[in-house]
A = this chain, B = another copy of it.
Amino acid sequence: MFYHSGKLQYEVRVDTPDPVFAKHLQQAIGGVEGEIRVAMQYFFQAMGARGDAKYRDMLMMTATEELSHIEFLGHAVALNLQEAPLTAQEAAATDPVVGAIMGGINPRHILSSGLSAMPVNANGIPFDMSHVYATGNLAADMMANAMAEGSGRVLASRLYNMTDDKGMKDMLSFLIARDTMHQQQWLAVIEELGGMAASLPIPNSTPESSEASEHSYYFLNTSLDAPTPQGRWTDGPSLDGRSTFSARDKAEPMGQKPDLGRARTMSGAQTEQM
């Protein structure tokens, strides 16, 4: 069950409201790299967690923290919109800076939300929950989470660069910090489970009889003219410790030429196909 405190997790100050930056900040709320995504992802993973209960707790605790991130980011968006132009007169100033602002804002921040945050990204596209990855496999989920936090910290760093507002930089430096923790936190679970070697290949419960293992450890060069890129993936022990990497420098088809024959009558095809 959830509870709420009236105060924000972190202080939000906006020294110079900037409605274009409000649009950009939306990516951190409703973008695929944003906070709605991780809040919901950890929440659904927690609800489906099977096995050691401590991972469930950990997921739910961080899901709860991410809800608080949505909250202070939402406040930051609203503060940046406080003085956005609401009328043709306000918007029509000949000042080129205002002109650029009008071109660069999300018009729905005026037309639809009334100067408030929306659950959308920087293009105004609503977040959709297909981005909530929760497989029921702990290692797959931990990778998904580390990935989400990695792309989240990339985004927060770019937002940090795109503003000169001291309040916003301070808030984003907190977000960058928490993303630092969170991306490592999920990888630490894998380390605790014995590390990558023990966890790979995901799922590590697939019986070996289900796998055509003669195809499991070679890099396939599908290029007609480029040499096989040499690296850790073409040489040395595989990361799961079960085999050795190699390369096939020239890919060859192993299957048949597909042929579906003629169409059945009553199938809605043209007569010539039947």
**A176 CB contact (under 8 Å) in B70, B99, B149, B212:** B212
Interface pair A191/B239, CB less than 8 Å apart: yes
Q: Compute how far the CA of A247 lies from the CA of B106 in the bound complex, rounded to whole angstroms.
A: 39
Is there contact, CB below 8 Å, between A188 and B96? no
Count the A residues whose beta carbon is within 8 Å of the partner chain — how many?
Answer: 198
Measured between alpha carbons, how far is A133 from B131 in the docked complex, in Å?
11
Please tell me if the beta carbons of A268 and B157 are within 8 angstroms of each other in the complex: yes
Q: Is the CB of A57 within 8 A of B184?
A: no
Q: Are A9 and B253 interface neighbours, CB within 8 A?
A: yes
Q: Is the beta-carbon distance between A114 and B211 smaller than 8 angstroms?
A: no
- Whether, in the assembled complex, A38 has its beta carbon less than 8 Å from a beta carbon of chain B, the answer is no
Q: Collect the chain B residues with CB atoms within 8 Å of residue A267's CB.
A: 86, 114-115, 136, 158
A33 / chain B contacts, CB cutoff of 8 Å? 112, 135
Q: CA A63 – CA B147 in complex, angstroms? A: 19
Chain B residue at minimum C-beta to C-beta distance from A239: B184
